[in-house]
Chains A and B, each alone.
Chain A
Amino acid sequence: MSGERERPRPDEPAADRPDEADEQDEAYSEDEEAAVAARLEDLGYI
């Protein structure tokens, strides 16, 4: 996530926030994605 832009207001829905698509992409790093996938697979979700 960019550290430069203003923080979203807490009541601001994510979909209305600027750069939402970027945030979606950056929510998990590549390493984190692998860990997330492993945990979801352990519970049979993927």
Chain B
Amino acid sequence: MAAPRVCVIGLDGTPASYLRRRIADGFLPNLAELARGGTLMSARAPLPPISSVSWASASTGVNPGRHGVFGFVERKPESWDLTFTNVFTIAEPQVWARAAEAGMRSVVVNIPGTYPAQPNGSGVLISGFVSPTLERSVQPPSLIPFLQERDYLIDVDLGLGHRDLEAFCEQLFAHHAARTRVLVDLLDGEACDLFYVAFTGTDRLHHFLWEQMERGEEPWAARFHDYYAAVDASVGEILSRLPDDCRLILLSDHGFCRLDQEVFVNRWLERDGWIALEEPAKSIASVIPSRTRAYCMDPGRLYLNLAGREPGGIVSPAEYESVRDELRRWAEALPFVQRVATREEAFSGPHADRAPDLVLVSKNGWDLKGAVRTADLQGKGRLTGMHTQDDAFVLVRGAHPDGEADVQDVAATALDGLGLDASGLDGRVLGT
């Protein structure tokens, strides 16, 4: 069986700082061994730092202005209705597509944003979040029984996290064990050049248990660290099947921190006269365009209600710069905003014209939301962890690159490991 030449393992949302702390305390032996032989680099996610955007960068090697994914939801063209981004939104070839074009075979498992699964040359692709059905998540479909026999779940029941944390944790561990079984059996049974997979249970764990972990609140803190012990063991199982000369890349797609308050940005815009909504508002489709100059899409994407772009837009193109400057100054004065990036500062490429006009980066603890179902400015529910742009990580086995990594470097480094051309990408090859 031909073993992979390149193996990419994602730990969704795992902060570099958490790994360093646990390794220093004597835990996570497999990750510790890798961190002794290579540099555990801090890494930066693209904006906004959510999985659909970040995994698109990690798999294409380019910024969102080139791959075209700016969130999980977008406004439909010429409408205020929402649509969900998916594999067809990604406008640049992903690493495995480039490998297939060069006659190589890939096994790709659980990468967010890859639904519905598309044929992956002669290889395997099992979609990740958000995949509502297994049937359309697997290529070739003949693998579906293989997954069912192993109790494979694409994701845990996230609703359980809101209703029953104990049951949520139980399912999280079972789900991780099933994912590991599938990965190990695929490694043993499928010859491939590229093995590109992600564990996403880490992100779910963080969303519901981060604060409890930080406070040392039991039994949740122990559950949290035990879950990472299971992740470490899974990494070890995969490692034991890889040849020494396989280029191994580990990454997280964003960082994480404690969530103190969820901030409903559209309600702040409403308070200060930027937006009007029909109540009870359900989504941004409840906007009253004639009384709206700006609106927010999750997580902190601000758009002007621009004439000719938004239906019923009232900001004329001639006013664009001045109104955007005014909006930027407004946003910079908000108590939860760390900084504001313009479209031109954050994105470049042929799809940058679809990017938000401004992107808010929040202070840690303040989780920005585009939701309008609540009339409150802010609040807190069952989620206790939130994403950060910084404090992601990248680790290339045996390599000691300088500086901070960018998530998009992963695709460039993987292509280079396959002997393919990584020039022309935004990411750099993280070599020795």
Contact = CB atoms under 8 A, between A and B. Distances in A.
Interface string A1-42: 100000111111111110010011101100111011111111
B98 A27 contact: no
B381 interface: yes
A33 B369 CA distance: 20
Contacts of B73: 40, 45-46
B121 A13 contact: no
Interface in B390-406: none
A36 B84 contact: yes
Contacts of B72: 40, 45-46
B262 interface: yes
A13 B96 CA distance: 13
Interface in B213-271: 262
Interface residues of B, number: 48
Contacts of B381: 44
A24 B88 contact: yes
A31 to B, nearest CB: 8
B383 A43 contact: yes
A24 B371 contact: no
A24 B130 CA distance: 14
B132 A35 contact: yes
B88 A46 contact: no
Contact of A11 (B93, B132, B155, B351): B93
A38 B72 CA distance: 13
Contact of A43 (B90, B158, B351): B158
B297 to A, nearest CB: 9
Nearest to B160: A42
B82 interface: yes
Given A27-B115, A39-B130, A39-B158, A10 B120 contact: yes
Interface of A: 1, 7-17, 20, 23-25, 27-28, 31-33, 35-46
- Give the 9 A-B CB pairs with smallest separation, nearest first: A42-B158, A27-B86, A15-B91, A35-B132, A11-B101, A10-B97, A32-B132, A23-B88, A10-B100
Interface of B: 50, 68, 72-73, 82-84, 86-93, 96-98, 100-101, 115-116, 118-121, 129-130, 132-133, 155, 158-159, 161-162, 207, 262, 283, 298-299, 350-351, 367, 369-371, 381, 383
30 contacts: A11-B97, A11-B100, A11-B101, A14-B87, A15-B350, A17-B88, A24-B83, A24-B88, A24-B89, A27-B84, A27-B86, A27-B115, A27-B116, A31-B132, A32-B133, A36-B84, A37-B84, A39-B158, A40-B84, A40-B130, A42-B158, A42-B161, A43-B207, A44-B207, A44-B262, A44-B367, A45-B72, A45-B298, A46-B283, A46-B298
